[in-house]
Structure 1
Amino acid sequence: MSINIAEPFEQGWKRIILEQVDYAIKQLKENEDRHDAIHEVRKVFKKVRAALRLVRSDIKYYKKENVFFRDQGRLISKIRDYSSIQEALAKLEESNTQIKHQPTFNSLLMGIVERREALEEEVLKKDHTLDRLRESLEKKQKEINSWPVKIKGFKTIGKGIKKVYKRGMKASNKARSSRRSTDFHEWRKRAKYLQYQLLMLKPLWPDFMDAWSNEIHDLTDLLGLDHDLALLEWFIKEDEMVFPSKAEEEWFYNQLHQAQKEIRVKAILQGKRCYSEDTDQLLNRLENYWKVYQEEVNCNG
């Protein structure tokens, strides 16, 4: 997901979005693992929205298309949430291998699987959600070909990165202060946008952009696990799932909260690395990289 040295930015920007949408359509058509397909498609929507944010000041259709891809993602978000909950439970189980606690994990897992299967029956089979989603993306793919793209160089791109970077810093500070799961999740969304934007701009300086995007990827992995654990706790309480005993229930929540605490400590430290640079200094440096990239494009042209 990056522009090429041999192509103008506008051309590469549209190509990336078309490739991502095409990949999502193929996942919905060909991937026999529906949960993996859903996961991949949701990633596509986030990447496209990051691309739109990068040049939002120069495209009049930003709001319309951002809402489109956001809403398409919401169609399958609940099913993905159940998969995330199951994965979070599995990670907790891996770190607590004592046999005496196995009934707790088994009963919770059975409850999660049962509810996920019921949701799949309703959303995927009765409503044919994935078929409708594929048809919607195929229609959108044709529209993207006619999108007008006229970008004012780094002036536009700098605005896009600055907004995403500053919002990420603000979300980071808020999460560190509040310690609320919703704020850590909001921080993750902002960090994801920045990660994908850096991947798009990789040719500006490949080694540097790779290293930085990888660091942010590590951050979003931590924040993602925190969110999955929060979803797991919410789900158990919302559905009033029954534990083998009160003692087991207390033990389970202690393990969950301790895991969240450790994850958040790591995420905050990782976040300080990822957002350590002053915004203006960052933009000046990226603009210098951009100028070199433009020279390379002209040489190859």
Structure 2
Amino acid sequence: MHTTRKQFKRMRGLYRLVQSADKEFREKENTRIGEAMRALAAVRDATSRIECARHLAVSASTADEHMAIIRICDRLVEWRKEHAPSGEEMAALQARTIATCHEAKALDTFSAPDSARATSRTFGRGWMRTSDRAAKAIENARNGGDAESFHALRKRAQDRWMQSGFLAEAWPSAFFASSARSKRLVQLLGVNQDIALLGNFIDTHAADLGSFGDVAHLLSVMIAESTRMRAEALPLADAIFAGRPEREGERVELLWRYACKVRR
């Protein structure tokens, strides 16, 4: 389920790259895939909390913190067992997910650009739009610092990761480097988002997690780890999205147009 959800995210990132060619197609696909992802998230969240807590246990700076978080991990596992979907619910979710995958054949209806020049322009616009949205996300994350701002930045990093890999043929060394850095940013901000979601769970289920002392230890490690992740993520984001969006889009357009000429 988690692997499927990740693939859906990657599809959306690529659709954003070419959305200027067929906005209606992209809107329909975005809605369809988004609904499937939200359904899968309900199943995935319980496991994410456990994985996040285990990561935090390793990051703990004292033995007391480590043992407290290990105890909370055990409670999170029990909570997941008690609230797991029934067999019928899981079967229905699996069927729905498989149907969503089969519906990917809708790509056959996509109105692709009819020339190398038009295709290059589409890629340039998509790249520029990602850069522009990323610049705004970086500014919001730096000024606001709330979890949602960093989550928005993670989405743009996910887009850049997928788009760089897709366009790598135009300039392999540059685009693969961009892809690798973007992937690292996605990983950092993914942990940060998991910590934020675990915090939301604590707000409503603290009594299910053990003693006040154990929860206090967990919160302390969460704050420290989130601070560390953000401190590493922001400079990396600045480096990935350093260029002016318009200029970056123009470069991608020219690179792809040249790559098309070379292949002839």
- Counting only pairs closer than 5 Å after superposition, residues 113-132 of structure 1 correspond to structure 2 as 113-122=77-86, 125=89, 128-132=92-96
Shift of 1:146: 4.1
The reply on whether 1:91 has 2:65 as its aligned counterpart is no
Q: Is the 8 A contact 1:204 1:293 kept in 2?
A: yes
Report the counterpart of residue 129 of structure 2 in structure 1. Answer: 163
Report the counterpart of residue 193 of structure 1 in structure 2. Answer: 159
Q: Deviations over 1:248-290 (max 9, x none)?
A: 4333212210111111110111111111112233223223311
User: Which SS does the other structure have where 1:76 is aligned?
Assistant: helix
> Which amino acid is the alignment partner of residue 55 of structure 2?
K
The reply on whether 1:136 has 2:85 as its aligned counterpart is no
2:11 pairs with one of 22, 35, 48: 48
Assess, with a 3 A threshold, how the Cα gap between structure 1 residues 109 and 51 changes in structure 2: closer, same or farther: same
The reply on whether 1:283 has 2:249 as its aligned counterpart is yes
Q: Deviations over 1:99-118 (max 9, x none)?
A: 44455224322332233234
Give the whole-Å Cα distance in 1 for the aligned partners of 2:198 and 2:132: 30
Shift of 1:141: 3.6
Q: Is the 8 A contact 2:75 2:210 kept in 1?
A: no
Report the counterpart of residue 222 of structure 1 in structure 2. Answer: 188
> Which amino acid is the alignment partner of residue 234 of structure 1?
N
Q: What TM-score results when the alignment is normalised by the length of structure 1?
A: 0.79
Assess, with a 3 A threshold, how the Cα gap between structure 1 residues 264 and 224 changes in structure 2: closer, same or farther: same
Q: Is the 8 A contact 2:130 2:156 kept in 1?
A: yes
User: Which SS does the other structure have where 1:128 is aligned?
Assistant: helix
- Counting only pairs closer than 5 Å after superposition, residues 68-87 of structure 1 correspond to structure 2 as 68-87=32-51
Q: Is the 8 A contact 1:111 1:241 kept in 2?
A: no
Assess, with a 3 A threshold, how the Cα gap between structure 1 residues 124 and 273 changes in structure 2: closer, same or farther: farther
5+ residue gaps in structure 2? Answer: none
Give the whole-Å Cα distance in 1 for the aligned partners of 2:31 and 2:220: 39
Give the whole-Å Cα distance in 1 for the aligned partners of 2:105 and 2:247: 40
Give the whole-Å Cα distance in 1 for the aligned partners of 2:16 and 2:87: 30
Give the whole-Å Cα distance in 1 for the aligned partners of 2:4 and 2:178: 24
Q: Is the 8 A contact 1:192 1:220 kept in 2?
A: yes
Q: Deviations over 1:109-129 (max 9, x none)?
A: 233223323443248645520
Q: Percent identity?
A: 23
Assess, with a 3 A threshold, how the Cα gap between structure 1 residues 113 and 159 changes in structure 2: closer, same or farther: same
More displaced stretch, 49-58 vs 147-156: 147-156
Give the whole-Å Cα distance in 1 for the aligned partners of 2:70 and 2:253: 54
Q: Is the 8 A contact 1:103 1:244 kept in 2?
A: no
- How many matched pairs? 260
Give the whole-Å Cα distance in 1 for the aligned partners of 2:218 and 2:84: 27
Shift of 1:47: 1.5
Report the counterpart of residue 255 of structure 1 in structure 2. Answer: 221
User: Which SS does the other structure have where 2:85 is aligned?
Assistant: helix
Q: Is the 8 A contact 1:123 1:129 kept in 2?
A: no
Shift of 1:158: 1.3
Q: Is the 8 A contact 2:161 2:182 kept in 1?
A: yes
User: Which SS does the other structure have where 2:234 is aligned?
Assistant: helix
Give the whole-Å Cα distance in 2 for the aligned partners of 1:216 and 1:109: 30
Shift of 1:294: 0.8
Q: What TM-score results when the alignment is normalised by the length of structure 2?
A: 0.89
Report the counterpart of residue 263 of structure 2 in structure 1. Answer: 297
Give the whole-Å Cα distance in 2 for the aligned partners of 1:243 and 1:75: 25
- Counting only pairs closer than 5 Å after superposition, residues 177-216 of structure 1 correspond to structure 2 as 177-216=143-182
Give the whole-Å Cα distance in 2 for the aligned partners of 1:164 and 1:186: 11
